[in-house]
Structure 1
Amino acid sequence: MVRMAGRPLSETVPSSLVSVRTPTPVLAGRDEEIATLARISGERPAVLLIEGEAGIGKTRLVAALLRRHEFDGVRVLTGSCPPLREPFPYGPILDALRTVTGQPVGALSPVTGVLRPLLPEISDLLPPAPEPMAEPAAQRHRQFRAVRELLEACGPTVLVLEDLQWADENTKDLLAFLVAKPPRRLTLLLTYRAGQTGAALGVPLRAADSVPVATLHLGPLDTEAVGTVATDVLGLSRIDDEFVRVLHQHTAGIPQVVTETLRAVRDLGFSGAAPSPQVLDRIAVPVLLRESAVERLGVLSEPAARLVRAAAVLGTPGESSLFGMIAGLRGARLSSALSEAVNGGLLGEADRGRYAFRHTLARRAVYEATSAPERQPLHANALRALANVVPPPYADLARHARAGGLPDQWQRYGEAAADRAIELGETALAIDTLQALLEQGKLAESDVERLATKLSKIALRGLRSDVSATLERVLAERTLSQTMRGTIRLNLGLLLVRRAGELGRARLEVEKAIDELSDRPELAARGINLLAMPIDGLMPLSWHEQWGERAREVYERLDDPELRLALTGDRIACRAHIGDGSAWTEFERLPEAGRTVAERVQLARLWCNLADAQSWIGHHGRADRLLRDGMVQANSTGALFTIELARGTRLRLDWLTGNWTGLAETGETLRRRYPDLGPVTAEAALVLGGLAAVRGEFSEAERYLAETSVHAPEHGVVPVVLAAAGMLARVRLGAGDIAAACAIVDSGMTSVRCKGVWVWAAELIPVAAEAYAAAGRWDAAETLVDEFTRGIDGRDAPVAAAALAAAKAVLLVARGKHADAGADFAEVAKAYANLPMPYAAAWAKERAALSRLACGDSAATAELGEVAEVYARLGATRDAGRCRHALREHGAWTPSPRGRRGYGTQLSPREREVARMLAAGRTNKEIAEGLFLSPRTVEQHVAKVLRKLGARSRTEVVWLEADSPTCSPEAV
């Protein structure tokens, strides 16, 4: 905050600053503080003090302040204090005054000549040097007066002195002299490390009552500000809240640490795509931070350095006595070492009586700078120091035992830590611990069975693809009992089914495990239940229903509440997926809370799986509510896999319901974060393909849609495959390739006929009818409509009903029955709007308007214009262009209801569309086709884009377009 001395200050200043070093410097979140300081500076003389710890952004704030218009025409003199062992007398002030040369100054009295020996660079501005005075104190006073008079002669001036914590005593005395009676038109702007006011000024600050003195205390960034920095450095429009939370925790919100950490993340290849929080554990400590920590460590005494190393080994905040036990220090030596470590900026008080490193990366830097021979006994000391803590910190005890070279204690504490983590829903910690224990290779067979079984079970909540390799090694290399082997193999199969391309192998493992557990049906139940779920692959629904019957038989013999709940939840979700309306009734009878963490995990799974089912059959409101509740429950229980599945469902639900802002970035994040997580990456690719298609980026759309298993449906998630087939067929129709569109439709229809779940074909059927009609395959078109009609009869699937009506209307258009088609499409539009599916509704309204126009109803042009605006607001630029092209053909196109406007140096909305397509590498021909413009018009737009962005060629737009000025969303 800003404090004022000398006069009241009405404004108060928040204690956080956003400061980030990027190719284009950015300072955000401090407008009020900067404006306040600028106003105070205008009331010269004034003294502005900026206080903050290292890396907090003091220099950046000064630079931003001095760029304001209030400082136009004001002379700025700058000096700084380097961290020298023996600072130069008056060093920063003399460095600042040397820059007076070349700028006019007022009349100077003879006393300023005393500065000639100190400032030879401006000797031509100074009068002759007077005779030196015999008394050193008098001579010093004369020098002080000379500096003040020179500053007075400079006129309106800002004297900036940075890092005053390293200033020499002479500089501090001179500053005290200037502050006591500053030149009339001078602003003193001083920066120094937090908590070091005395070191900065040497004496208490005493200014005249008429001189405003403002102190700005810069605090760390809050979580929101860290998110702002992250989006800027990584080049994103949206970023994951959990990543921002962990980043803030990792860096303590210190701007320099935040920025350096994000640069390290960006260097791993995450620029342009939001990374996961886990990546922060993989990055190396940035060089600047490592050197800073090691430099601070190097100037400490041996006891203080040992204490800091002990704190790094401990890894958590602790009391001084605990640090002392680990470092072998006590009494006065401990107190002295702690004070030195705190004053040196390496440790700080985390809370009352407990100390810690300022941020995680500082601790890591010190830990990595400590040699292994020195770390091992410190870990052993930490283990002894924590052994009697109640309740036992098992995770910490296991870590110290392992690093301290004590394997027996590591195994004991490690298993206890894993059990505690499972109980608390800390899934990642449990997996890490159990996997590490199993991979050490020194366990008895009984220990392997027990630990591997625990790992295989808890891994089902997690997201670790490497666990399957660990379990496979256990099965291949260790002698296990048949029951334990079957249990581990079953869970391995349940893990493999999540991975793209592993469906066949997963089912083989599950069936083998069911045989191994033939005498333990309660253990085989999850495997039987998996085979009953029809959503993956092309095995017919009847095959899954046979396994479903076996699952119901096993269910009746189960006593375990969690397992009964798991089977019940999966049965409900599966029935909902195929359009069985009774599933929702059964769901509403279930309890809303579980008694144990395991039961709550199953309820979270049910809510999220049922949300997925409801989104596919068209109950989008239900899906939205289930997702919100399910993700809260999943987060609270550590059900990480369920969370990611739910994020995939949320992504697709946002696509269907028209919430497209930031959708591409979110989709890329999901696609890149867990590339082995087949169900999630498929849904992300589906949405990214859809977004590319509606923008007219057909090659991009094909690339994304190929990742959905649309060309290998036997390995894919069937609803995703069929939706992707519908999108891909529409892309190929849009490109005029009717034969290719029919080929993908044929493949999709083969899949749906094989599977036998027709409600999943809702996004394929209308475009299939269009493709077959365009090819003149009328029998095929009529057949698919008849089959779809029978397939969805009696099913609870509102989207399928809308799709059937749409397909019938498409065939009416193809047969030239435009009046009937127009009326039917209008009803289809209402049906889609009620779901809601705004893009599908706009498509139906467009078809209705075109049908009316074909009947000679010119009034339909108004409706077509409205549809173009809906498409444009959604971001469906190709569809908007198609409507506008149709309006131009009917002589009814008006660019904007508000009329054209001039955009000056900013890009117009149409130019931004062109710029984005240029940045994606599109040719003029592809842009013209995507936006339904003439090649000549596109050439003009490209020329304007290059000129406005200052790009020398179209390839430069790749990085320039993202930084272009924001424009109005009006259509052009």
Structure 2
Amino acid sequence: MWPAIPRSTSISVRTGPPAFVGREHELDAVVEVLRHRPATVLVEGEPGMGRTRLLTEIARHREFAAGKVLAGACQRFREPFPYGPVLEALRTAAEHPLGPLSPVTGVLRPLLPELAEILPPQPEPLPGPGAERHRVFRAVREVLAACGPVLLLVDDLHWADEDTCDLLRFLTTAMPAELALVLAYRAPLRTPIRVAPAVHTARVSLGPLGTGAVRLLAAELLESPGVTEDFATRLRECTAGVPFVVEETLRALHDTGDRPPTGELVLDNLEVPAALRETVAERLAALPPPAARLVRAAAVLGTEAEAPLLGELAGLSGETLRPALLAALTGDLLSDLGEGRYGFRHPLARKAVRDTVDSPERTLLHTESVRLLARRQAPPLRLLAQHARAAGDVERWRRYAEAAAGEATARGEPSAAVELLREVLADPGEDVAGLARAATALSEVTRHGFHPGAIGTLDRVLRRPLGTEVRGVIRLSLGALLVRTTGGLCRGRAELECAVAELGGRPELAAHAALLLARPHDGLTPLSWHEQWRRRAEELAEGTTDPGLRRELTATRITTAACRGEATAWPEFQALPAADADLSRGELCDAMVWAGHLQRAERAPAGQTTEAHGTRLRLDWLLGRWSGLADKAERLLRANTELAPVVAEAALVLGNLAAVRGEFVTARGHLATARVHEPGHGRLPVALASAATLVAVLLATDDVDAACRTADDAMDAARRKGIWLWAAALVPTAAEAYTRADRWQDADTVVEEFARGTGSLDAPVATAALTAGRATLLSARGKHPAAAALFDEAATAYERLPMPYLATGARERAVLNRLKAGHRDAVAELAATATTYECLGATRDAGRCRHVLREHGAWAPSQRGRRGYGRELSPREREVAGMLSEGRTNREIADGLFLSPRTVEQHVAKVLRKLGARSRTDVARRLAAGGNANGEALP
């Protein structure tokens, strides 16, 4: 019976089948076989695998559009319906002209009244049912032969009666010359279909959809082009890739309004889709009572298991178990999972069955599951905890949950351990010792990873009466989480300072807390403050025998030196043993990137931590590896919405990419996420780099006052921290803003302060930035030849790093200064610079250069004449199409490409026509479906 659970009111509207995905190869193979008549194709697959949909696509294929297509399906009737699917198909045979019909076809008059007008007179009955049956077979074959080239589709053959199966076997052994036959069924058939050797034959076995097909289906049904690979993978796991289940799950997600990435969070708790629930209920009702009991027991057990265990749980054994198991298997509820184990094909099917079990029976099954699973040689602790909790056995649940958490930690699955311990601590009871034990275990796990969900749990535990040392252990982990969590820096540092005081009896743990405070990247606290904590950590660790702590002390010292630009950091890192080098690799790589040692960063990769992915994003940006970079940054941002360092890095890269495309509103949004306006609450080097981009964006829109305010705040932050090399990207743009505002003293001060702060550092990016800053001052004062020479020097310095975008920007400034100095031959250099920008993907910068070229009369058409692109998109139209798909207006496109609004209107009209798009909003869908921004237009 169904549980009396109230369901919220909802409306689910279907607009037809979704796109046909994941079966294109099978469709092409079937069509190729059916071209060669006579032909027979057998399509087999489990329920929900898309047999019917494949038959529909075969019927709609252009290869058969002009010919006869006859279709019928077997029905699951209580009483057999002889020849049902074939007669259903033949009803429409007269819609196309038929050839001559032999007298034997008259026997079909009573069976096919739709064809009575064209069939010959009904012949006299033959003696005996066998002869009459054979005459019906011959008549059907004659009608099919009279159809000429005909495609006959028969679906759900596994439900066919014996007469229908015999008729089809008769046809396949003596087929009309122009007949193509497709039979779809659920394997295995009671009696196989045999095909004559002369007939072209294919057998197609449909399996689950792959992750790529699931992702395409999700993008369409959720109306969201941003479906991630992770979401598609998770969805495939939940549905086992069964097309019917995938589609119904997506429709349920669509109806709830969830979209990726939020959709990823509800997959585990999604209500079983109505169509799947009804299908399961129908199959369950058709089972004998013992088989239904076995299936319900398996659903509550929640894991694949051997037949004896399932039988014992369901109260079946010996003679009753075997037929019940066979019925459950043939009823498509349980599946044979191999190695003598049985279970459900996918979690939603299990959930649909479990929801039919009433509460008293479910409690009994959970209690019995605990007894049966606990006697295994290696009991599944997490599953035992779930069953004990569902059975209401709280003490046993806590014991199993803590043991399962320890097991998960030992297996290297900290997230599972955190989840279990959080559940225990959500209801710890009055056992203070148990509370301290579980809280300490949770603290140990979270200290070595990022689990923001544990913050609230640890915070609540600290309100309970605990010993000082236990509180210190908990505060250490809480502070370690908070300082990495968006918006948690200040509070996290306060918790860490308290932890150092409370861990007086455990100096090694106190040293770990002090080392977290010694890291200089975050906030506006001066470098001297971090150095004090590093020395405090060394004092606490004096005499320690913990090799891990010694390595951490060494790593912090080397990475801090690298952040300051000290030349000793890299040689000291290279001299470390392998284990010590691995510990410091991530932060050292990050420091090397900020210092401009990109090749060192490539040789000492950041590792596989989540923060390392953020460093690699920034490295790819600086190296000009922009292809697919925005997608990578978006995925990283969606997957780590609370991990402050990664959020900042990804947002900076996205802001930079948007800025070079001229998407200034989008850029400003990303830069705000990177804490450009709140440098005291985030990663300071990221905030300063974000400020550099924001100043450039504001100057591009002539908002000089706002650019100067941004530069003022950022420079003040750099002064307070005292690590000047982090201001390398900011100094040239700040100098530009100040000179445009006639704040000459501030412009000179910024450059000279930076020179004093970086003069002796091992930071090549600082050298390049200082040269660019001085060139900016010369250019603003009208000393164009000298400015051009310095910009060329800066470009060469950036190229050596290599930072191609900054190098191209400096080269452009050099060329513009030469043009202002009257060097006409610099026009050719500007054209080359525009091409370099285009190759990088900096469309707005390229457009700016082209605009200057037009002003200098240097826009010359090709001597070979303009290429005709026909129905393909031209390069400019590809740029416009990409901007349209991002939702940009004509004015925004014109600004981004330095074109007139009238020219943009013409390009937009051509894009819509070539892509066959009905509107501007339809462009993105058209590009994804068949046309693309590489010029492959839709027919």
**Pairing partner for 1:218 from 201, 206, 211:** 206
Offset of residue 310 of structure 1: 2.6
Map 1:383-402 to 2 at 5 A: 383-402=370-389
Which stretch of structure 1 is more off in the superposition, 762-771 or 886-895? 886-895
Distance 1:626 1:265 in 2: 43
Counterpart in 1 of 2:848? 882
Map 1:784-823 to 2 at 5 A: 784-823=750-789
Counterpart in 2 of 1:614? 592
**Pairing partner for 2:903 from 927, 937, 945:** 937
Contact 2:819 2:826 in 1 (8 A): yes
Contact 2:879 2:933 in 1 (8 A): no
Alpha-carbon distance change, 71 to 458 in structure 1, aligned in 2, over 3 angstroms: same
Map 1:117-136 to 2 at 5 A: 117-136=110-129
Counterpart in 2 of 1:575? 561
Counterpart in 1 of 2:816? 850
What SS is found at the alignment partner of 1:161?
strand
Offset of residue 757 of structure 1: 0.8
**Pairing partner for 2:197 from 200, 209, 221:** 209
Contact 1:906 1:966 in 2 (8 A): no
AA aligned to 1:801 is T
Alpha-carbon distance change, 420 to 591 in structure 1, aligned in 2, over 3 angstroms: farther
Offset of residue 169 of structure 1: 2.3
Offset of residue 69 of structure 1: 4.7
Greater relative contact order: 1 or 2 (C-alpha under 8 angstroms, separation 6 or more)? Answer: 1
Distance 1:57 1:547 in 2: 64
Instruction: Tell me, yes or no, if structure 1 residue 755 matches structure 2 residue 743.
Output: no
Counterpart in 1 of 2:6? none
Which stretch of structure 1 is more off in the superposition, 249-258 or 330-339? 249-258
**Pairing partner for 1:491 from 462, 477, 481:** 477
Alpha-carbon distance change, 894 to 414 in structure 1, aligned in 2, over 3 angstroms: farther
Encode CA deviations 1:137-161: one digit per residue, 9 max, x unaligned. 3332222222111110100011011
Distance 2:862 2:73 in 1: 57
Instruction: Tell me, yes or no, if structure 1 residue 686 matches structure 2 residue 652.
Output: yes
Counterpart in 1 of 2:879? 913
**Pairing partner for 2:738 from 772, 777, 790:** 772
Distance 1:297 1:378 in 2: 18
Contact 2:221 2:251 in 1 (8 A): yes
Distance 2:409 2:934 in 1: 52
Distance 2:222 2:835 in 1: 32
Contact 1:161 1:191 in 2 (8 A): yes
Unmatched runs of 5 consecutive residues or more in structure 2:
1-14
Instruction: Tell me, yes or no, if structure 1 residue 472 matches structure 2 residue 465.
Output: no
**Pairing partner for 1:543 from 515, 525, 529:** 529
AA aligned to 2:732 is P
Alpha-carbon distance change, 537 to 159 in structure 1, aligned in 2, over 3 angstroms: same
**Pairing partner for 1:504 from 486, 490, 493:** 490
Counterpart in 2 of 1:83? 76
Alpha-carbon distance change, 698 to 511 in structure 1, aligned in 2, over 3 angstroms: same
Counterpart in 1 of 2:601? 623
Which stretch of structure 1 is more off in the superposition, 279-288 or 228-237? 228-237
Map 1:27-42 to 2 at 5 A: 27-28=21-22, 30-31=24-25, 33-42=26-35
Which stretch of structure 1 is more off in the superposition, 812-821 or 732-741? 812-821
Which stretch of structure 1 is more off in the superposition, 883-892 or 845-854? 845-854
Encode CA deviations 1:572-598: one digit per residue, 9 max, x unaligned. 33332232333333333444349xxxx
TM-score computed with the length of structure 2 as normaliser: 0.92
**Pairing partner for 1:197 from 189, 194, 203:** 189
Unmatched runs of 5 consecutive residues or more in structure 1:
1-20, 595-602, 632-642
Counterpart in 2 of 1:564? 550
Instruction: Tell me, yes or no, if structure 1 residue 109 matches structure 2 residue 105.
Output: no
Alpha-carbon distance change, 89 to 860 in structure 1, aligned in 2, over 3 angstroms: farther
Offset of residue 735 of structure 1: 0.6
AA aligned to 1:396 is L
Contact 2:152 2:179 in 1 (8 A): yes
AA aligned to 2:733 is V
Map 1:604-753 to 2 at 5 A: 606-624=584-602, 626-627=604-605, 630-631=607-608, 643-753=609-719
Counterpart in 1 of 2:517? 531
Alpha-carbon distance change, 470 to 706 in structure 1, aligned in 2, over 3 angstroms: same
**Pairing partner for 2:506 from 520, 524, 542:** 520
Distance 1:55 1:835 in 2: 56
Distance 1:367 1:571 in 2: 57
Counterpart in 2 of 1:418? 405
Contact 1:274 1:665 in 2 (8 A): no
Which stretch of structure 1 is more off in the superposition, 394-403 or 912-921? 912-921
Counterpart in 1 of 2:435? 448
Alpha-carbon distance change, 536 to 311 in structure 1, aligned in 2, over 3 angstroms: same
Counterpart in 2 of 1:14? none
Distance 1:680 1:247 in 2: 25
Contact 2:428 2:435 in 1 (8 A): no
Distance 2:20 2:522 in 1: 48
Encode CA deviations 1:218-270: one digit per residue, 9 max, x unaligned. 22344565556556666788876555554444333333334444555566767
Offset of residue 510 of structure 1: 1.9
Offset of residue 464 of structure 1: 3.4
Which stretch of structure 1 is more off in the superposition, 293-302 or 783-792? 293-302
What SS is found at the alignment partner of 1:776?
coil
Which stretch of structure 1 is more off in the superposition, 905-914 or 686-695? 905-914
Counterpart in 1 of 2:354? 367
Distance 2:652 2:865 in 1: 37
Counterpart in 1 of 2:468? 482
Encode CA deviations 1:275-314: one digit per residue, 9 max, x unaligned. 7966542433333333333332232222222222232233
Counterpart in 2 of 1:380? 367
Encode CA deviations 1:6-47: one digit per residue, 9 max, x unaligned. xxxxxxxxxxxxxxx99762334643x444433322221111
Counterpart in 2 of 1:25? 19
Map 1:150-169 to 2 at 5 A: 150-169=143-162
Contact 1:276 1:673 in 2 (8 A): no
Encode CA deviations 1:527-577: one digit per residue, 9 max, x unaligned. 211221111111111111111111121222433333333343333333322
Offset of residue 341 of structure 1: 1.7
RMSD: 2.9
What SS is found at the alignment partner of 1:48?
strand
Offset of residue 686 of structure 1: 1.5
Counterpart in 1 of 2:7? none
Instruction: Tell me, yes or no, if structure 1 residue 93 matches structure 2 residue 86.
Output: yes
What SS is found at the alignment partner of 2:524?
coil
Contact 1:27 1:60 in 2 (8 A): no
Distance 1:797 1:539 in 2: 22
Encode CA deviations 1:608-655: one digit per residue, 9 max, x unaligned. 333322222223344345446x21xxxxxxxxxxx3322322322222
Alpha-carbon distance change, 921 to 232 in structure 1, aligned in 2, over 3 angstroms: closer
Encode CA deviations 1:174-216: one digit per residue, 9 max, x unaligned. 11111121111101111111x3232xxxx33333321233212
**Pairing partner for 1:182 from 148, 156, 175:** 175
Encode CA deviations 1:305-346: one digit per residue, 9 max, x unaligned. 222223223333322122223222222222222222222222
Contact 2:873 2:935 in 1 (8 A): no
Identity of aligned residues (%): 53
TM-score computed with the length of structure 1 as normaliser: 0.89
Instruction: Tell me, yes or no, if structure 1 residue 337 matches structure 2 residue 324.
Output: yes
AA aligned to 1:804 is L
Distance 1:882 1:441 in 2: 64
